[in-house]
Structure 1
Amino acid sequence: MSVATTSLFVFAASQVGTPGPANMALMATGARFGFRAALPFVAGVALGKQLIIWPIGFGLMELATSYPAVFGALKWLSAGYILWLAWRIANLRLGEDDRGALAPGFVAGLIVHPLNPKARAMIVAAFTGFVAAGTPTLHATATIAGVLLICQLILHPIWTLAGDRIALVVAGRPAEQYLMWTLAALTAASVLYVLIGGGIAQ
């Protein structure tokens, strides 16, 4: 009765570290506002996943089978929210004329994962693939929550810092516009990939 913690860490790192809506949004936020200003958003994204790990662990997500229309609506709300982020990214510039704009904060980050079907799929995979039969619910849920949080606290800032470093190179240059468009396109593409049944990366 246990959780395969080592294997779970490998799985979690591979999923949290790969491109997807959350990581693209983190990278774009770092590029636009800088690493330090983006940290509240990073914290919100990391902690937001906890809001679905615990309900899934204690079986509340079984309500999805009783109310599929509600969860279908949540999936599209999630996609709409992240596509809105992509639109904002595409229209932001790194130049000094936008200096008064505020970075998305902690609460904005919290919203990214709870409505994200990709995040739910990854968490369900963690429970079904790495938890031995008979493991107490609290132990299994706390272990998965802790492993995912550790991976997020390490890997999400790396994506954000990457955006910040890239921005230092292109800010104020013609490549800046193409960078923001590319980040927006990658964010939108990752959402569409989820909607058509793609993988479970971040």
Structure 2
Amino acid sequence: MENFTSFLFYVLISNLSPGPNTIISMSNASYYGFKKSIRFNIGIFFGVYIIMALSSIFSVTLYSLIPSIKPIISCIGASYILWLAWKTYKSKPHSDDKVQNHTNTFLYGLLLQFVNPNTIIYSLMTVSTFIVPYYKSVFILAAFSGILAFIGFIATCCWSLFGSVFQKFLVKNDKVINTIMSLLLVYCAVSLFF
């Protein structure tokens, strides 16, 4: 890999910046605590790994199709992210457990990756730009998929830890926090088009 530093910065910034995975991880931890939010984060890990592996397998073909696929994925993903923003804005601490609890499961974390345009575009971009031009071995591609998924897992755990450490503050100031998290999700949706 020619420019490992650029690859590293891109991966760290992409994983640590606010997005559906990180914001929902923080929200889950603020409602249920760090320990109970881990199952969602593990779901994210496996979902990201699968998306990375698929991106690796099909990267040459998909790279040529990205311009025609990106607007469709962006519209579907932006709609979903805006729906998440609305649900986050309207949620209340611990009183809306039926709505919130479904986001704190392994399956939700896993399936979210298949409709999360950030993950899909991140995977396609990372694989096609930084990995496939230099490595073609199935073993190396699988290793990169695992490493990148693990970095994403660490990032969501950091956001979960933040959510659980400041749980009392977040519950006490739920309307302000929900508004801020909703606006971050709206920003994520809008940024898909720029």
Under TM normalisation by the shorter chain, which class is it?
A: 0.7 to 0.9
Q: Which amino acid aligns with 1:168?
A: K
CA distance in 1, matches of 2:118, 2:88: 21
TM-score relative to the length of structure 2: 0.79
Note the C-alpha offset of 1:159.
0.4
Could you tell me which runs of 5 or more consecutive residues in structure 2 were left unpaired when the two chains were aligned: none
Distance in 1 separating the partners of 2:162 and 2:101: 19
1:26–1:159 CA contact under 8 A, matched in 2: yes
| 1:162, distance to aligned residue in structure 2 (A) | 0.9
Tell me the percent identity.
18
If each structure's helix is expressed as a fraction of its own residues, which one has the higher value? 2
> What are the superposed Cα offsets for residues 104-135 of structure 1, whole Å, 9 maximum, x if unpaired?
21121123322333323322332344337463
In the alignment, does 2:17 pair up with 1:18? yes
Taking the aligned partners of 2:14 and 2:82, their CA distance within structure 1 comes to 21
1:54 aligns with 2:66: no
Root-mean-square deviation (CA, aligned residues, Å) is 3.0
Once the two structures are superposed, residues 72-96 of structure 1 have per-residue CA deviations (whole angstroms, 9 ceiling, x without a partner) of: 444333222222222221122225x
Q: Partners in 2 of 1:61 and 1:161 — Cα distance?
A: 38
Is there any run of 5+ residues in structure 1 with no aligned partner, and where? 198-202
Instruction: Report the AA paired with residue 144 of structure 1.
Output: F
How far off its partner does 1:158 sit? 0.8
The 8 Å contact of residues 25 and 187 in structure 1, kept in 2 or not, is answered as no
Q: What corresponds to 1:200 in structure 2?
A: none
Q: By how many angstroms is 1:34 displaced? A: 2.4
- Between the aligned partners of 2:67 and 2:121, the Cα distance in structure 1 is 17
Instruction: Tell me, in whole angstroms, the C-alpha distance in 2 between the residues paired with 1:80 and 1:30.
Output: 25
Secondary structure of residue in 2 paired with 1:168: helix
Using the TM superposition, give the Cα deviation of residue 167 of structure 1 relative to its aligned residue in structure 2, in angstroms: 2.5
SS at match of 1:188: helix
Q: Describe the shift of the 1:170–1:52 C-alpha distance in structure 2 as closer, same or farther (beyond 3 A).
A: closer
Are 1:154 and 2:154 counterparts? yes
Give the TM-score normalised by structure 1: 0.76
